[in-house]
Structure 1
Amino acid sequence: MKKMQLIIKEIPQEEAICFIRQYHYSKIIPKLCKYFLGIFSEEKLLGVVELGWGTQPLQTIRKLFPDANLKTKDYLEIGKMCFLPEMNQNNYFGSRTLSALIKWLKEHTDCLFLYTLADGIEGKCGYVYQASNFFYCGYFKTSVYRDSRTHEKIHPRSARILLEENARFDNVAKKHWLTQDFCEYKGIEKINGRMFRYMYPLTNEAKKLLKAYPYQRQSYPKDKDLRFEKRVAYRKYEKIPQPTFDRQICFYNTQNVHS
């Protein structure tokens, strides 16, 4: 069988977002986007990759390399990557896409690193990045909210209105996290999990820089490293199985899905 040749090229933002909202498990589009790339075989669009930065671009790179004085321009982050459903059945398609993406970045940008996260709350350890020889850079704990009745996953960006309501509920000026009393009143759960960091060096300079840090010696995470817990009282959490989310419900996330 002839090996499928993949081509990566920029596509219109509207086309990319339409594809992401049709095929990605999360419909929320990052705010800081730089590139929308299509993955093609001949003329058929098989997938989309969005590159940009998360909510704290400079803090992210400086936390990973605290002594290197790197800037936001020195890296790009995979915000969204998704494929046609039939491509998800191909064990090698994700790795081949990343290989083509890395080649594209080397040819079209001056970035030192490609950075990405595997969403542990969704049960993802980042196996596709491991298969593509990314460096594992550790994990951090993250929190999401979930409507206990509908199982809608409430994105942190979508919690702003709830935080304002929580502040009025507690008669204070501002809230940064939803309180347990308010969550019980609203029927909302707070769930903790892990996010796994991965980095790929794009230049020789980046490879040399990595040698000064311990990332090359860290073992890849596996399913046993996933952790899930739910808040059951003030500052009290209990371990739970991997949570499920209903992707069809869009009550709290409407603003960020359609913006």
Structure 2
Amino acid sequence: MSRLSGKVALITGGSRGIGAGIVKRLAREKANVAFTFLKEKEAANSVVKEASTNGNRVIAIQADSGSARELMDAIEKVAKEFGRIDILVSSAGAFLFKPVDEVSDEEFDHMVAVDLKAAFIASRSALKHMRDGGRIVFVSSNIADFAALATTSIYSMVKAGLDGLAKGMARDLGPRGITVNTVHPGPIKTDGNPEDSPYAKDLRSFMVTPQFGEPADVAAMVAFLVSPEAKFATGAAFVIDHGFTA
């Protein structure tokens, strides 16, 4: 029996990139998986099809993580569909690379809403349906530890905020046996972070060998953190960046 067999997992932002990798990995571990997506229906359907191969259920729900109402409604749909939520992975995120003196109020608010507030909203809503011993993971970034490039101030801020949220929640939820952790990916090959981006050469220079990681590399760490084996790991940040921050 797989270590996640029968568990119910919700991943926000699961139609592409790291989120899609997490959906596929948890489904491979035989969890029943629900994930949200913003607007890429074709991509979401493709992930559902690929992940639904182990006799488990995989569903996609369209919801904007920047909208508290849409996110809360999506979580209620998952709870109604599966009866509970055992695992929450907050993976939805937005990117903003711009000098701080050029960032508008609207851009700042959007980054906070999607990258930070959404993790809080999703956690608060999911906890209503989470039994003792549940698991919560936030997908942060190694930029929270090391702002290696200019223009990353706001992105670094919101990702660092996830670490603070996770540490506090770990204290709050420890008596229930619910663990809360963050993962800090480095450069990972995704549509939003291609290997041929203008930043790619600089990013490679920080790693022990000049290669980007795969979404599966992050998903493997998440799969461990949401498993029974990780019961003693909480309030921590797990870095997967090929030595970027070493």
Compute the TM-score of the two structures, normalised by the length of structure 1: 0.31
Bigger Cα Rg? 1
More helix by share: 2
**The structure with more strand, counted as a fraction of residues:** 1
